[in-house]
Protein backbone atom coordinates (compact mmCIF):
# COMPACT_ATOMS: atom_id res chain seq x y z
CA UNK A 1 0.00 0.00 0.00
CA UNK A 2 2.70 2.47 1.02
CA UNK A 3 4.66 1.70 -2.10
CA UNK A 4 1.96 3.31 -4.24
CA UNK A 5 2.48 6.76 -2.64
CA UNK A 6 5.73 8.64 -2.53
CA UNK A 7 6.98 9.48 0.92
CA UNK A 8 7.92 13.08 0.07
CA UNK A 9 4.36 14.42 -0.53
CA UNK A 10 3.25 12.90 2.81
CA UNK A 11 6.03 14.66 4.63
CA UNK A 12 5.12 17.90 2.93
CA UNK A 13 1.48 17.50 3.97
CA UNK A 14 2.47 16.87 7.56
CA UNK A 15 4.77 19.89 7.49
CA UNK A 16 1.98 22.06 6.06
CA UNK A 17 -0.46 21.00 8.79
CA UNK A 18 2.06 21.70 11.53
CA UNK A 19 2.84 25.10 10.06
CA UNK A 20 -0.88 25.98 9.72
CA UNK A 21 -1.62 25.07 13.33
CA UNK A 22 1.37 27.05 14.56
CA UNK A 23 0.35 30.13 12.59
CA UNK A 24 -3.25 29.83 13.80
CA UNK A 25 -2.17 29.67 17.44
CA UNK A 26 0.13 32.63 16.90
CA UNK A 27 -2.62 34.82 15.39
CA UNK A 28 -5.62 33.70 17.45
CA UNK A 29 -6.80 36.01 20.27
CA UNK A 30 -5.75 34.90 23.73
CA UNK A 31 -9.40 34.42 24.66
CA UNK A 32 -9.71 31.63 22.06
CA UNK A 33 -6.66 29.80 23.36
CA UNK A 34 -7.04 29.91 27.11
CA UNK A 35 -10.34 30.91 28.74
CA UNK A 36 -9.75 33.88 31.00
CA UNK A 37 -12.18 34.27 33.91
CA UNK A 38 -12.98 37.99 34.08
CA UNK A 39 -13.66 39.02 37.68
CA UNK A 40 -15.87 42.00 38.41
CA UNK A 41 -13.85 44.90 39.74
CA UNK A 42 -10.66 43.90 37.95
CA UNK A 43 -9.43 45.23 34.60
CA UNK A 44 -9.37 43.62 31.15
CA UNK A 45 -5.86 42.31 30.32
CA UNK A 46 -6.27 43.01 26.58
CA UNK A 47 -8.64 44.52 24.02
CA UNK A 48 -11.63 42.37 23.16
CA UNK A 49 -13.28 42.68 19.76
CA UNK A 50 -16.28 40.94 18.25
CA UNK A 51 -15.25 38.18 15.88
CA UNK A 52 -18.63 38.31 14.07
CA UNK A 53 -21.69 40.54 13.80
CA UNK A 54 -24.26 39.82 16.50
CA UNK A 55 -27.69 41.28 17.26
CA UNK A 56 -28.73 40.73 20.84
CA UNK A 57 -31.30 41.80 23.42
CA UNK A 58 -29.71 44.27 25.83
CA UNK A 59 -31.20 43.61 29.24
CA UNK A 60 -29.18 46.45 30.74
CA UNK A 61 -30.41 49.05 28.24
CA UNK A 62 -33.97 47.75 28.48
CA UNK A 63 -33.99 47.95 32.25
CA UNK A 64 -32.45 51.44 32.16
CA UNK A 65 -35.18 52.65 29.82
CA UNK A 66 -37.87 51.05 31.98
CA UNK A 67 -36.51 52.81 35.04
CA UNK A 68 -36.55 56.18 33.27
CA UNK A 69 -40.13 55.68 32.12
CA UNK A 70 -41.24 54.59 35.59
CA UNK A 71 -39.52 57.54 37.27
CA UNK A 72 -41.37 59.91 34.94
CA UNK A 73 -44.71 58.77 36.38
CA UNK A 74 -45.75 61.30 39.06
CA UNK A 75 -46.64 60.32 42.60
CA UNK A 76 -50.26 59.25 42.98
CA UNK A 77 -52.54 60.65 45.70
CA UNK A 78 -55.90 59.71 47.16
CA UNK A 79 -58.53 61.89 48.79
CA UNK A 80 -58.84 61.77 52.58
CA UNK A 81 -62.37 63.05 53.41
CA UNK A 82 -61.66 63.10 57.14
CA UNK A 83 -59.43 66.18 56.74
CA UNK A 84 -62.24 68.42 55.48
CA UNK A 85 -64.70 67.08 58.05
CA UNK A 86 -62.31 67.60 60.96
CA UNK A 87 -61.13 71.11 60.13
CA UNK A 88 -64.56 72.38 59.13
CA UNK A 89 -65.90 71.18 62.49
CA UNK A 90 -63.08 73.01 64.29
CA UNK A 91 -63.81 76.20 62.33
CA UNK A 92 -67.51 76.07 63.17
CA UNK A 93 -66.70 75.43 66.83
CA UNK A 94 -64.39 78.45 66.86
CA UNK A 95 -67.01 80.74 65.36
CA UNK A 96 -69.72 79.44 67.71
CA UNK A 97 -67.43 80.12 70.67
CA UNK A 98 -66.63 83.64 69.46
CA UNK A 99 -70.32 84.45 68.99
CA UNK A 100 -71.20 83.04 72.42
CA UNK A 101 -68.51 85.12 74.14
CA UNK A 102 -69.26 88.33 72.25
CA UNK A 103 -71.82 89.65 74.74
CA UNK A 104 -70.13 88.18 77.81
CA UNK A 105 -69.13 90.79 80.42
CA UNK A 106 -65.84 89.04 81.25
CA UNK A 107 -62.59 90.80 80.33
CA UNK A 108 -61.29 90.43 76.78
CA UNK A 109 -58.14 88.69 77.98
CA UNK A 110 -60.27 86.07 79.71
CA UNK A 111 -62.32 85.57 76.53
CA UNK A 112 -59.12 84.97 74.56
CA UNK A 113 -57.98 82.43 77.12
CA UNK A 114 -61.30 80.57 76.96
CA UNK A 115 -61.25 80.45 73.17
CA UNK A 116 -57.75 79.03 73.16
CA UNK A 117 -58.71 76.42 75.75
CA UNK A 118 -61.90 75.52 73.93
CA UNK A 119 -60.54 75.17 70.41
CA UNK A 120 -56.92 74.35 71.15
CA UNK A 121 -55.57 76.43 68.27
CA UNK A 122 -52.47 78.58 68.05
CA UNK A 123 -54.17 81.70 66.73
CA UNK A 124 -52.36 84.89 67.77
CA UNK A 125 -53.98 86.93 70.53
CA UNK A 126 -54.34 89.87 68.16
CA UNK A 127 -56.41 87.79 65.74
CA UNK A 128 -58.70 86.59 68.54
CA UNK A 129 -58.98 90.14 69.87
CA UNK A 130 -60.23 91.36 66.49
CA UNK A 131 -62.69 88.51 66.08
CA UNK A 132 -64.05 88.88 69.63
CA UNK A 133 -64.64 92.57 68.94
CA UNK A 134 -66.56 91.83 65.73
CA UNK A 135 -70.35 91.61 65.68
CA UNK A 136 -71.95 88.14 65.51
CA UNK A 137 -73.56 88.89 62.13
CA UNK A 138 -70.18 89.83 60.67
CA UNK A 139 -68.60 86.71 62.16
CA UNK A 140 -71.27 84.55 60.55
CA UNK A 141 -70.64 86.22 57.19
CA UNK A 142 -66.95 85.54 57.53
CA UNK A 143 -67.65 81.98 58.66
CA UNK A 144 -69.86 81.32 55.64
CA UNK A 145 -67.26 82.72 53.25
CA UNK A 146 -64.49 80.69 54.85
CA UNK A 147 -66.48 77.46 54.76
CA UNK A 148 -67.39 77.96 51.10
CA UNK A 149 -63.80 78.68 50.16
CA UNK A 150 -62.40 75.76 52.12
CA UNK A 151 -64.95 73.33 50.70
CA UNK A 152 -64.18 74.44 47.16
CA UNK A 153 -60.47 73.77 47.63
CA UNK A 154 -60.99 70.46 49.41
CA UNK A 155 -63.28 69.29 46.62
CA UNK A 156 -60.58 70.24 44.13
CA UNK A 157 -58.05 68.40 46.26
CA UNK A 158 -54.97 69.84 47.93
CA UNK A 159 -51.74 67.86 47.74
CA UNK A 160 -49.07 68.34 50.43
CA UNK A 161 -46.99 70.39 48.01
CA UNK A 162 -46.01 74.02 48.75
CA UNK A 163 -47.08 75.34 45.34
CA UNK A 164 -50.52 73.73 45.57
CA UNK A 165 -51.11 74.88 49.14
CA UNK A 166 -50.06 78.43 48.28
CA UNK A 167 -52.37 78.56 45.25
CA UNK A 168 -55.34 77.16 47.19
CA UNK A 169 -54.82 79.59 50.06
CA UNK A 170 -54.64 82.54 47.68
CA UNK A 171 -57.99 81.60 46.16
CA UNK A 172 -59.59 81.53 49.60
CA UNK A 173 -58.05 84.89 50.49
CA UNK A 174 -59.41 86.34 47.26
CA UNK A 175 -62.92 85.41 48.44
CA UNK A 176 -62.30 87.18 51.73
CA UNK A 177 -61.06 90.32 49.97
CA UNK A 178 -64.45 90.66 48.28
CA UNK A 179 -66.29 90.96 51.60
CA UNK A 180 -67.44 94.44 52.72
CA UNK A 181 -65.38 94.27 55.91
CA UNK A 182 -62.59 96.24 57.52
CA UNK A 183 -59.01 95.33 56.79
CA UNK A 184 -58.52 94.13 60.36
CA UNK A 185 -61.39 91.67 60.12
CA UNK A 186 -60.27 90.51 56.68
CA UNK A 187 -56.75 90.00 58.01
CA UNK A 188 -58.08 87.94 60.93
CA UNK A 189 -60.18 85.77 58.62
CA UNK A 190 -57.18 85.24 56.33
CA UNK A 191 -55.14 84.13 59.30
CA UNK A 192 -57.87 81.60 60.09
CA UNK A 193 -57.77 80.39 56.49
CA UNK A 194 -54.02 79.76 56.79
CA UNK A 195 -54.70 77.57 59.81
CA UNK A 196 -57.73 75.62 58.58
CA UNK A 197 -56.79 75.02 54.95
CA UNK A 198 -54.97 71.71 55.33
CA UNK A 199 -53.97 69.28 52.51
CA UNK A 200 -56.55 66.53 52.04
CA UNK A 201 -54.67 64.49 49.43
CA UNK A 202 -52.56 61.63 50.83
CA UNK A 203 -49.68 59.98 48.99
CA UNK A 204 -50.78 56.56 47.73
CA UNK A 205 -47.71 54.34 47.50
CA UNK A 206 -49.61 51.35 46.11
CA UNK A 207 -51.30 53.32 43.33
CA UNK A 208 -47.98 54.96 42.48
CA UNK A 209 -46.23 51.60 42.18
CA UNK A 210 -49.03 50.19 40.03
CA UNK A 211 -48.90 53.19 37.69
CA UNK A 212 -45.15 52.85 37.36
CA UNK A 213 -45.41 49.11 36.73
CA UNK A 214 -47.91 49.79 33.93
CA UNK A 215 -45.51 52.33 32.45
CA UNK A 216 -42.61 49.85 32.63
CA UNK A 217 -44.71 47.24 30.80
CA UNK A 218 -45.10 49.57 27.81
CA UNK A 219 -41.34 49.70 27.16
CA UNK A 220 -40.25 47.60 24.20
CA UNK A 221 -37.07 45.48 24.52
CA UNK A 222 -33.92 47.28 23.42
CA UNK A 223 -31.91 45.46 20.77
CA UNK A 224 -28.26 46.18 20.08
CA UNK A 225 -26.00 45.19 17.18
CA UNK A 226 -22.28 44.53 17.49
CA UNK A 227 -20.44 44.40 14.18
CA UNK A 228 -17.48 42.18 13.49
CA UNK A 229 -14.27 43.81 14.68
CA UNK A 230 -16.06 46.27 16.97
CA UNK A 231 -14.26 46.97 20.23
CA UNK A 232 -16.20 45.40 23.09
CA UNK A 233 -13.81 45.99 25.96
CA UNK A 234 -10.63 48.04 26.07
CA UNK A 235 -7.46 46.87 27.75
CA UNK A 236 -7.31 48.31 31.27
CA UNK A 237 -11.07 48.89 31.38
CA UNK A 238 -12.96 47.95 34.52
CA UNK A 239 -14.87 44.65 34.48
CA UNK A 240 -18.47 45.36 35.54
Lowest mean pLDDT among 27-31, 91-95, 195-199, 235-239: 27-31
User: Over pLDDT 90: what percentage of the chain?
Assistant: 66
Confidence class for position 2, pLDDT limits 50, 70, 90: very low
Neighbours of 110 (CB within 10 A): 11
Distances (CA, A) of 80 to 90, 130, 170, 202: 17, 33, 22, 7
CB 115 within 8 A of CB 98: yes
Identify the pLDDT of residue 36.
59
Q: What is the pLDDT of residues 165-179, one digit of tens each?
A: 999 999 999 999 999
The arithmetic mean of pLDDT across residues 74-101, rounded, is 95
Residue 131 CB burial class (10 angstroms; 0-12, 13-18, ≥19): buried
Are 123 and 116 a contacting pair, CB within 8 Å? yes
CA angle 102, 105, 108 (to 5 degrees): 65
How far is 225 from 139, CA to CA, in rounded Å?
Answer: 75
pLDDT band for position 25 (cuts 50, 70, 90): low
CA–CA distance, 195 with 143 (Å, rounded to integer): 14
- Between 13-22, 70-79, 177-186, the lowest mean confidence (pLDDT) is in 13-22
Is the pLDDT at 87 greater than 60? The verdict is yes
Give the integer Cα–Cα distance in Å for 12 and 193.
104
Residue 11 burial by Cβ neighbours in a 10 Å radius (0-12, 13-18, 19+): exposed
pLDDT at 32 over 70: no
**Would you place residue 1 in the very low, low, confident or very high pLDDT band (cuts 50, 70, 90)?**
very low
Positive or negative CA dihedral for 211, 212, 217, 219? positive
Instruction: For residues 83-112, give the mean pLDDT.
Output: 94
Whether 45 shows a pLDDT value over 50: the answer reads yes
162 exposure class (CB count in 10 Å sphere: 0-12, 13-18, 19+): exposed
Query: 176: how many CB neighbours lie within 10 A of its CB?
Result: 20
For residues 141 and 17, which has the higher predicted lDDT (pLDDT)?
141
What is the structure's pLDDT at 21? 62
DSSP state at residue 79: E
Amino acid sequence: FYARFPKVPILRLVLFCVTFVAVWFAMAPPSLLVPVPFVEGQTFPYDIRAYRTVRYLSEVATERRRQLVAQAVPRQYRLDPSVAARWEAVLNDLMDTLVALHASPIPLSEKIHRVQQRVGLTLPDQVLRVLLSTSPSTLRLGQETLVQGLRAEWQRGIKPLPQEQTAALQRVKNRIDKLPLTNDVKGALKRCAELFLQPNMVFDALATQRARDRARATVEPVWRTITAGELIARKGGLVT
